[in-house]
Copies of this chain bind each other. A is one copy, B any other.
Amino acid sequence: MPTIKDIAKAAGVSPASVSRVINNGPKVGAKTREKIKRIMGEMEYQPNANAQAINVQNNASIGIVLADLTDPLFAKMAHGIEKVAAQKDLQIFLNSGAFDQTSELNAIEVLLEHRYKALVVHSAMIDDKTLIEFARKVPGLVLLNRHIKEIESRCIWLDDKAGGGLMAEHIVEQGHKKIAIIAVDGIQNNTRHRIEGMKAQLAKYPVHYQIEVLEQGAATYEGGEVAVQNLLARGVEFSAILAYNDAIAVGAVSMLKAHGLSVPDDVSVVGFNNLILAQCMKPKLTTIHNPIEEMAMKATELALRLSKGEGTDVASFSIEEHQYTPELVIRQSVKRID
């Protein structure tokens, strides 16, 4: 693999000139430029990006850390980031965190070692304090789908409380009084916020609601199945299920059917995220729309701006731009009861 020196020698010029041609710099005459270009082509020269990155302080790539790409929600995040990157002709370095603290930390560290200036991180497991420290150290770091008060100007997040509220509101307005909530365990704050939101909403009505919160390990289709099985086995009474996400909701529906219960006739189900899955299934799933792709795009743009030292003035911070609002999408999986 030829280096810049080889090209220079072959073209009878100095490495500096070659470098200037590579970077479309000035100070190289049209003729020389052509010649150098030709030789670069002939010798199949490819600049060593690592060597370039040593010198240039402005690494034109975005580092991102995500948990698990097989979760369509995270895939959508990735897609949002990609869209911004492609549009600005930037590269993405993706590092998968795999949902445990040490590998998430490791992922961030790797990104820092590569001197990426703009970082979009989606961390579910790292504690606030550590993240705050990272944020202080790295100006271009933005947290996606997480809200830490101390550095909220560096966060893009969903109003999970409002999301929980919407779910509860919809359900009780349809007359439901016995509600099962399928949450997920772990340190994840959004599950907690949503439940808080639900409870806060329910507290607004002068009715007594029967609530059962079930913490279910896996936020997946199978998780939804076992959650319902669990509920039924324990004889919990419920006419509505509020699920942590669409996958769980779909799993729940499937298991309810397996037990001869119809959705929405016997049990109403509400999902969360509004993934494509929610539209495909039968009955179409009533769910909460999560504008994660827009959020991801926003986070990316923010990270890029911050990494360039722009928009550092905290004065310009407005919650409206950083906190996204979920929306109720009514389809067919909820039925009014009396």
Contact = CB atoms under 8 A, between A and B. Distances in A.
Contacts of A221: 276, 279-280
A10 interface: no
A211 interface: no
B91 A92 contact: no
Given A48-B54, A95-B91, A282 B282 contact: yes
B91 A110 contact: yes
A96 B82 contact: yes
B82 A86 contact: no
Contacts of A279: 221
| Chain A, interface SS category | helix
Nearest to A283: B282
Interface in A210-255: 221, 247, 250-251, 254
A176 to B, nearest CB: 23
Contacts of A48: 54, 113, 115
Contacts of A282: 281-282
Contacts of A254: 280
Nearest to A107: B91
A96 B86 contact: yes
A30 interface: no
A279 B221 CA distance: 10
A109 B46 CA distance: 8
Interface in A60-80: 68-70, 72, 75-76, 78-79
A194 B66 CA distance: 34
Taken together, the copies of this chain in the complex come to: 2
A186 B53 CA distance: 37
Contacts of A39: none
Contacts of A68: 79
B113 A46 contact: yes
B82 A76 contact: no
Contacts of A44: 137
A319 interface: no
A50 interface: yes
Interface string A253-290: 01000000000000000000000110111100000000
Nearest to A113: B49
A32 interface: no
A76 B82 CA distance: 18
Contacts of A94: 92-94
Contacts of A131: none
Contacts of A93: 93-94
Interface in A81-102: 82, 86, 91-96, 98
A124 B79 CA distance: 18
A290 to B, nearest CB: 14
A9 interface: no
Contacts of A79: 68-70
A35 interface: no
A103 interface: yes
Contacts of A20: none
17 contacts: A46-B112, A48-B54, A48-B113, A50-B53, A50-B114, A51-B54, A54-B54, A68-B79, A69-B82, A70-B75, A70-B78, A72-B72, A86-B103, A91-B95, A94-B94, A221-B279, A277-B277
